[in-house]
């Protein structure tokens, strides 16, 4: 069971700004720095656009929620429709849609560390492994401590650092 911090529901492309604000607040809540923020924002926005474009806005909505995992952050984007999905059988339209979707999915796959699509394409889970952030913080703090001790005149042995 995934513990959702909060979820947001989007019914049209006009609400995309709300989703972007939600993603920003989720990244702030989980202390995700700018190193990953741009990747998360762009890939999640593209996922939302894909699922918003799949159906008529009046007949469904896209639900977005973030959750923390053992390895980092997961953003889940899920389309809920009020009516059953009707497949478009026009091959030219399908070809054009697939070309555009392929480009968008490439962006998502490149920026997310892991991608899981389920529910017949109605649910996208984006995983971001952010364990290296703690390592970067550790090195910054260690460097600051070293600078502090050097200023105060305390001798630091090589194996202490």
Rounded to two decimals, what is the model's pTM?
Answer: 0.67
CB burial of residue 99 (10 Å; 0-12, 13-18, 19+): exposed
Instruction: Decide: 35 and 136 in contact? Cβ < 8 Å.
Output: yes
Structure-token match 């996922």, residue found: 47
Provide the domain count of the chain.
2
Kindly state whether residues 120 and 144 are assigned to the same domain: no
Kindly state whether residues 111 and 152 are assigned to the same domain: no
39-93 pLDDT, tens digit each: 899 999 888 888 887 655 556 788 888 888 888 888 898 888 766 555 554 555 5
Instruction: Decide: 124 and 116 in contact? Cβ < 8 Å.
Output: yes
132 vs 14, residue with greater confidence: 14
- Look over the chain and give the mean of its residue pLDDT values, rounded to a whole number: 77
Kindly state whether residues 79 and 109 are assigned to the same domain: yes
Got the DSSP string for 44-57? HHHHHHHHHTTS-G
Kindly state whether residues 85 and 161 are assigned to the same domain: no
Kindly state whether residues 30 and 82 are assigned to the same domain: yes
Please indicate, yes or no, if residue 33 is contained in any of the structural domains: yes
**H/E stretch holding 97:** helix 91-111
Kindly state whether residues 141 and 105 are assigned to the same domain: no
73 vs 132, residue with greater confidence: 73
CA pair distance 147, 99, nearest whole angstrom = 54
Enclosing domain of residue 137: 133-161
Please indicate, yes or no, if residue 152 is contained in any of the structural domains: yes
Structure-token match 């990953």, residue found: 36
Residues in the chain: 161
Confidence (pLDDT) at 94: 59
User: Region 19-40: what's the mean pLDDT?
Assistant: 84
The two beta strands, 72-81 and 114-118, are unpaired
Tokens matching residue 135: 């390592």
Which residue, 71, 84, 68, 62, is CA-closest to 18?
62
Kindly state whether residues 71 and 140 are assigned to the same domain: no
Q: Is the pLDDT of residue 20 over 60?
A: yes
């Amino acid at each position: 069971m995934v513990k959702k911090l909060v979820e947001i529901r989007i019914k049209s492309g006009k609400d995309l700004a709300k989703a972007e604000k939600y993603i920003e607040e989720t990244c702030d809540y989980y202390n995700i720095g700018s190193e990953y923020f741009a990747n998360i924002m762009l890939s999640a926005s593209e996922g939302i656009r894909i699922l918003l474009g799949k159906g008529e806005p009046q007949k469904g909505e896209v639900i977005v929620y973030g959750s923390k995992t053992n390895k980092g952050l997961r953003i889940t984007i899920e389309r809920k429709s009020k009516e059953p999905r009707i497949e478009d059988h026009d091959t030219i339209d399908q070809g054009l849609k697939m070309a555009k979707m392929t480009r968008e999915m490439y962006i998502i796959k490149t920026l997310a560390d892991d991608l899981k699509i389920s529910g017949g394409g109605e649910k996208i889970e984006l995983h971001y492994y952010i364990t290296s952030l703690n390592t970067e913080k550790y090195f910054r703090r260690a460097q600051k401590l070293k600078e502090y001790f050097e200023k105060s005149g305390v001798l630091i042995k090589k194996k202490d650092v």
